[in-house]
Structure 1
Amino acid sequence: MRGARRLRDRPVMTGVARVAGVSHRTAPRSSPTGPSHTLGLVAFDTSLAGPTSTVYAIVRAARAAGHPLTVVSARSLDDDSVCAAVDTLCGRAVDGILAVAPTDPALAALASIPAEVPLLAVGAGDAAGVPVVGFDGVSGAAAATRHLLGLGHATVHHISGPAGWPEARERVAGWRAALAGAGVPVGMVLPGDWSVRSGFEAARQLAGDPEVTAIFCANDQMALGALRALHLAGRAVPGGVSVVGFGDIPEAPFLRPPLTTVRQDLAALGRASVEMLARQIAAGVRILRHVRFPPSFVERDSAAQPSCER
């Protein structure tokens, strides 16, 4: 944990000095709409729709609230890279830090940052010692699974996100809870990595089993891959297999068939993230809160009652 030690060992880190009251820049700068705190954002290089859309939502919310925003991209989501990105932001005189840090190592790195630094993890699961704002993945996954069961499917199979991602674990937990609540057999879990290809490969394994009639995918990209695999295998959607995704990417209504999915209000997430960090900065203390927004269910054409292939 060299990066974490580096942050702890620096005696006069710029960000810590400011929030501790030893910098003349502690006083908030004003703008016509209120204090103009300078915020830092730790992002990471990715083509994944969820984290990328979260970053855009934060950027838009910070701009709307009149907060200057400095963005630093971590090389990866390991301890050293995240701590190095935080260290860079502190050296650029930010007043508080937002981090899109959706993996266990990234959250562990944030937990090691000195408590004097206003900090908020965005779009992640629960993490000890780190304030978090995100979505309730358990309830969203449970809603998706209950919808499929309510259509009459005997069980629901799951293409999950990767190990080490709290959001992936939450969606597995919600899927399992819904199955247990309905008293039906637990379907298969096939691990994915959020990519279209991983959804394609997982669904290709499921497509050969005629007993498989319902699949819940942990994100929409994997659902897109699943749709393609099922089509190539001659399994009609939704006539032979129903598919539900998670995320409601912009392309979801235009897929063939339009994708039933779970929607997350990213604009609300961005606004809440900026507001929560601004409160920490104003209070001069890290506020340890975990705030979850309930997602909503979007019914389209990729899920239907089980029936003969057509």
Structure 2
Amino acid sequence: MRLDYTDKVNKKLNAHFFDNYNFNLEKTMIQSLYIFQSQSKQLLYNKNFQSDEKVEMFSSFFSALQMFVSELTESSSESLSTIELGEYLVIISRIPEVKSDLVIIIDKADIKEAQKIIPKVISIIKSHEDLFINWDHEPEKFEMFDLKIIRLILSNKKLVSDSTLTTNQSSILKSIWEQKGSLSDKLRENLLKEREKLNLVYQHEENYPDKYNISKKLIEISEKLHDDEKFIEYQTESKSLKDEIKDRRLRLQYYLDKLNESLAYSKFAETYSYLYSFCIKLQNFAEPDIIEKYKILAKILLNRSKIPREEFKQVVKDISMIEDEVNTFFNIGT
């Protein structure tokens, strides 16, 4: 299991520590730090010393990087290994005492200073052996470990280059793919055809959640094709779609809350207004027939004096069920 058991704990710790120390994350010597279980190669802990915004924005890039690092630990059998990755070095250190592998990514120019930090990181890991051997899920133990790692890394600034992993995505991706070997002509041809067809669907797709899911597939295909330009292009578009989905979710939830509140007090004129606004915001989220269904319910509210009592009661019930019906839209892209 991963030690960073919730993103909330990590973000809370990072926000508290970084705010207090006013430290520029991108000036840290170590760019990324990973700890894998030696036998299973399961990721136990990771820390990317980039802003939360950049980690989220370039999530596909960091996922590709993490996968590559994991494969390196599996293929390497030496107690200490160093692999070039563009302008960076990946340093793998075996820690048999805790049955784990430490992996750090640094700028080549910082290798001498980084070699002084690695033993200190290993010392912290060994001093928290219970986290890796028999962790009892006590948050306090994890927080102490996490804070020590953060404090150590942030106390060592970059000496030479101001480059970061995210500003060098293209060269890093190319380096990763070069080490994985080239594709066969047949596989490349098939992947290009698949991406071309999928991109056509992507360009014409109007449903945001569906478009977002397609963008993730296009990123995967571009990674398989070793196409750094398209990988970065689709990654950027995917992040934009995800942000739009999150924003729309908040707006939809606002209208739902107001709708339910007015419905509870039988303020049907207000319910109509909120439901109609909700339908407008539901564009690009739900199928047209669903939106039309809700619009019809809204119109019935305006003409309630002409509707039989039992039929109107059913309409009110149907409106009260809308939130449950659209939860599937809310859960996409979160």
Fold shared per TM-score above 0.5: no
Higher relative contact order (CA 8 A, sep 6+): 1
More helix by share: 2
More strand by share: 1
Please give the TM-score of this superposition, normalised by the length of structure 2: 0.25
Q: Which has the larger radius of gyration?
A: 2
